[in-house]
Every structure is written in C-alpha cells, then in structure tokens.
Amino acid sequence: MDRRSIGALINSISRLLHLVSCQTSKTAAINEFKCIVGMLKPLKCIIDEAFGSPFPWDERLVTAIEELDMAVNEARDFLEKGPHSLSEAAKWRPAYAICPCAFVNSIAICCPLIPFLLFCLSLRVQSHDMVTGTLRGRKDAATALFNLSIQHENKARIVQAGAVRYLILLMDPSTGMVDKSVALLANLSTIHEGRVVIVQEGGIPLLVETLETGTQRGKENAASALLQLSINSTKFCSLVLQEGAVPPLIALSQFGTPRAREKAQQILSHFRSLRENTVRKAR
C-alpha cells in the first residue's frame, strides 16, 4: 500500500484526536466524539506500526483505509465548522459526521480492517516458539477488536476471520495478554459461532484455569464466557464440569467482585438445575 495513504490516515486521526481533546464543553455530541477517540487511539498506534510490517495490503483493505480517512476528515470538519461544512455526498452517506454515533458504527462495520488487526495480534517468529511483535501492538489490536465486537454484527466477522485461535494462544500468561484475550472471548461467546470455535480450539480448560489463577478482571470475563457456554449447550456444559470448574466457581461466588460473584452464582445455579432435572428423569 502507498505509504503516503497510511501517513495521511495517521495524520488525519492525530488531528481529530487533538481537536477532541481540546473540547471543553460536555454536550452529548462531544461525549459521543470522545467515544470515537476510544476507537481511533488504538487504531492509530496499530496503523502507525504498519509502515514497516509485511502485511499484505489487498484491495479491500486499501479501500477500508481510504474510507476511514474520509470519515475521520468529515468528523473533524463537523467539529470545526458544523454540519454545513459537509459535502452533499457526505450528507447522503450513513451520517459519518452528521451523527457521531453513526460515525462510530461506520468504523465498526469496516470489516476489511479485521484481518489487519488479527495480523497485528498474531505477529510471531518460529524460533523457540516465542511470541514476538510488540506487546503494545498486540494490546492495541485486541482493544480495537474488542471495540468492534461491541457491534453485534461484527462478532461473527471476527470469529470467521480466525480470531479465536490467536486469542486462545495468547492466554498463555507469558504473553501478558490474558486479560485482553479473555475479555474479547467473553464478547465472542455470546454468539453460537464463537462458542463452537472456543470449544474447538481448547478454550474451556484455559478459561477454567483463569477462574483459578487470573486477575479479578480475568476471572470476571472467564466466568462470563463459561456462563454462555454452559447455558447454551448441554454438551459444552458437561465439558465445563469435566474440567473441574465447580471449586473455583464456588470460591468466586464467595470472594470475587460483584460481577464475578453474579456470573459464578448463575453458572452454579444452572449446574444444580441440570442435576435436579437428571434426578427427576431417573425416577
């Protein structure tokens, strides 16, 4: 891809970030633009690193980068000059800058960026099976994917692009990526495709391990993912039980954060209901 195009996008994002940071009013529109900043900050860092990366810049990704650059510029014009500054074409698009929330959605559905984010997430070398690449780059990629996954329609796209495999690999504590990976897996576990691939890639043992040894945040999200797996599939529920999830769930239901306790109690309640149903049927 033309380095000038990437440079133009990085410059556009930088200018918008600076402009939003200078806003002192607390209107709904400004608050919504701050949500945009939350999406663009990790993207800027990732795209910045792409200058020297071997990523294959295919036509779809080039188009996505160009459209994102246009959307960022329109959002900046809106902040600087107001709605009257938008071109007629911009006014007929899905309101990139007319409505900040729609602008966020326009980024979120920009699915050609997903393979690029996965590439940044999965940078590795073969020697000694050590994961390399930049830890900051991987965290930024995971953050951007998490933000994308908030939009329901993007969850399947992220799963289909192969994200779960990389997230499972990055649940090794030595990568420094456990919390980021589990948070995204928890989001992806809310759809059928996500649950299936999490199980296929061996995610259940690692989620149970996170219940035992993870951070408070990691335990919360691991419990959230295991809850989705358990309540949506009897088969997956059995696999969770087989991995010895009950003891760490009991501990979490008593000593975890409020959210973690709630999730753990829901899973344990589901286990009890299944056991009671089994006993009734056996009579």
Eight-class DSSP state of 179: H
Which tens digits make up the pLDDT trace of 72-84? Answer: 777 777 777 765 5
Q: Is residue 205 over pLDDT 60?
A: yes
13 touches 44 (CB < 8 A): yes
pLDDT of residue 277: 83
Least confident segment among 8-12, 145-149, 177-181, 245-249: 8-12
pLDDT of residue 83: 53
Token output for 264: 């753990």
Percent of the chain past pLDDT 90, that is, above it, reads 40
15-35 mean pLDDT? 72
Nearest-CA neighbor of 66 among 21, 126, 4, 24? 4
Nearest-CA neighbor of 33 among 91, 86, 97, 81? 97
pLDDT of residue 130: 39
Q: Is residue 94 over pLDDT 50?
A: no
Token output for 212: 């035992």
Question: How many helices, marked H, and strands, marked E, lie in the chain?
Answer: 16, 0
Tell me the HSE value of 264 on the side-chain side, using a 13 A CA sphere.
Answer: 24
7-19 mean pLDDT? 80
**Can you tell me the distance from the alpha carbon of 44 to that of 14, in angstroms, rounded to the nearest whole number?**
8
Q: Which residues contact 190 (CB under 8 A, 6 or more apart)?
A: 155, 228
**Can you tell me the distance from the alpha carbon of 27 to that of 79, in angstroms, rounded to the nearest whole number?**
12
pLDDT of residue 125: 31
What does pTM read for this prediction? 0.76
Which tens digits make up the pLDDT trace of 129-153? Answer: 434 456 777 888 888 888 888 878 8
Could you tell me how far CA 15 lies from the centroid of its own chain? 25
pLDDT of residue 66: 75
Query: Which residue would you say has higher pLDDT here, 198 or 98?
Result: 198
Q: Is residue 157 over pLDDT 70?
A: yes
Least confident segment among 35-39, 117-121, 164-168, 220-224: 35-39
Least confident segment among 144-148, 215-219, 250-254: 144-148
Tell me the HSE value of 247 on the side-chain side, using a 13 A CA sphere.
Answer: 6
Confidence of residue 100 (pLDDT cuts 50, 70, 90): very low
What integer best gives the mean pLDDT of the chain? 79
Cα dihedral sign, 167-171-177-181: positive
**Can you tell me the distance from the alpha carbon of 187 to that of 129, in angstroms, rounded to the nearest whole number?**
28
18-33 mean pLDDT? 71
197-211 mean pLDDT? 97
**Can you tell me the distance from the alpha carbon of 202 to that of 169, in angstroms, rounded to the nearest whole number?**
10
Confidence of residue 245 (pLDDT cuts 50, 70, 90): very high
What would you report as the CA-atom Rg of the chain, rounded to the nearest whole angstrom?
21
